[in-house]
Structure 1
Amino acid sequence: MPDGETADRDYVIHPGSVAVLALSEDDKVLLLRQYRHPVRRLLWELPAGLRDVPEEPLVDCAARELAEEAAYRARTWHTLLDVYTSPGMSDERIRIFLARDVEPIPDEENGYVRHHEEADMPVVWIPLADAVDRVLSGMIHNSPAVAGILAAYAASADGFKGLRPAGAPEA
């Protein structure tokens, strides 16, 4: 500590994660409704998941999560932002991608079987401006969803020209 004392801290060591702000051609955001036991409620979330495949490029991890959780794929990917989700209690770092040129994956091509909390996750598309309103009115609480929605809204002001490439290095 600054005064020379030592302080004990407990924290979670986390492998990191990715999330995907999928945006349709008509500026709608893909959201999932998922139960989260620690907060004992259903939350509106972006497709997301752990960085649990060694050496997997982050954009590939994000594409896998978009396919598994929502059964969609995207042709255009950008890095939207990088955030520490709760740096006071975890070292989890999450890269949030912007995915555009999105299309559903036909059932015959998608072999992923959802289970546990993923078994009943409805997928909805809402206008980006409505998603911003839901964030600001307290209807969306999930931190990657909040950050991704607000960042996408801000980035849309210049047509997403200022975004980093999907493979941008982590700072």
Structure 2
Amino acid sequence: MADQTRRIENETSGAYARVADAPESWPVERSEERYRGPKCGMRTDWVEMPGAGGEGRTVAARDYMDHPGAAAIVALDDQGRVLLQRQYRHPTGHTLWELPAGVLDAEGEGPLATARRELVEEAGLRAATWHRLPAFFPSTGFSNERIHIFLARDLSEVPEEEIDFVREHEETDLASEWLPLEEAVRAVLADRLHNGATLIGVLAAHAASGDGFAALPEASDD
């Protein structure tokens, strides 16, 4: 396993390092907001693109959800168990077991600060050690939403009187379960879990656990 890990690291730092996503922005002729709600909006951009067969230029309309992004937390206790919470998700018609998570909707609050706040509000926990797991775009053809995932360890409970948060709506029915990380991986591979951040977070944390999380970058909002 150690040899395989070294081989992957060498490949990633060498010729294969070119396979990496990069920011890019094609010219936008005009943009129009179609809808604005409390957490997201819908826009149409008229984007300048290559013409048919790469000949000339054309303008094509692209509709997408304008979303501030979100943060999710793989909270791992000293027994190697990950916290999952069951919540009703109306658009999917399912109750889903998910990582604690929340939208980046507080002004001036970065992804890590949001993750810290959500862990307190949703789980009543604080973490002394934070690392960054992969961030991802859940629906690249439809939304600019980006979800940041963090690994939180060295957990401690927050006294109830210190939690300044009142659950309402779907959050009033939250149920929690601590699963051994290996069992959470089995649940993912057995198609028992379907939330995107949960799948990516569980599998990434399991992959990173091989060297005791030593290769993970420390989390920061810098």
TM-score by length of 2: 0.73
Deviation at 1:109, TM superposition (A): 1.9
Instruction: Give per-residue Cα distances to partners, 1:9-32, cap 9 Å, x unaligned.
Output: 211010011000000111100000
Q: Is the 8 A contact 2:112 2:221 kept in 1?
A: no
> Among 89, 96, 101, which residue is 1:36 paired with?
89
Which one of 118, 128, 137 corresponds to residue 181 of structure 2? Answer: 128
**Per the alignment, in what secondary structure is the counterpart of residue 18 of structure 1?**
strand
Q: Which one of 142, 145, 154 corresponds to residue 207 of structure 2?
A: 154
Aligned Cα root-mean-square deviation (Å): 1.3
The equivalent residue for 2:61 is 8
Bigger share in strand: 2
**Residue 72 of structure 2: which of 10, 16, 19 is its match?**
19
TM superposition shift of 1:57: 3.0
2:218 match: 165
Report which of the two structures shows the higher radius of gyration computed on alpha carbons. 2
Write out per-residue CA displacement over residues 60-82 of structure 1, whole angstroms, 9 at most, x where no aligned residue.
11010011111111111011111
Q: Hey, what's the Cα distance between the residues in 1 that align with 2:147 and 2:93?
A: 22
The share of aligned pairs that are identical, in percent, is: 50
SS at match of 1:131: helix
**Uncovered stretches (5+) of structure 2, i.e. residues with no partner:** 1-48
- 1:6 Cα deviation after fit: 3.5
Q: Aligned partners of 2:83 and 2:153: how far apart in 1?
A: 11
Aligned equivalent of 1:85, options 121, 134, 138 = 138
CA contact (8 A) 1:79 1:168 kept: no
Q: Determine the C-alpha separation between the residues in 1 that align with 2:164 and 2:114.
A: 16
Amino acid at match of 1:155: A
SS at match of 2:136: strand
Aligned match of 2:118: 65
1 CA distance for matches of 2:129 and 2:112? 11
Q: Which has the higher contact order (CA 8 A, sep 6+)?
A: 1
* Residue matched to 2:195: 142
Shift of 1:58: 2.0
1:82-117: CA deviations, max 9, x gaps? 111111110001110000001221222223111011
* Structure 1, unaligned runs of 5 or more: none
Task: Give the alignment's TM-score, normalised by structure 1.
Answer: 0.94
The aligned residue for residue 148 of structure 2 is 95
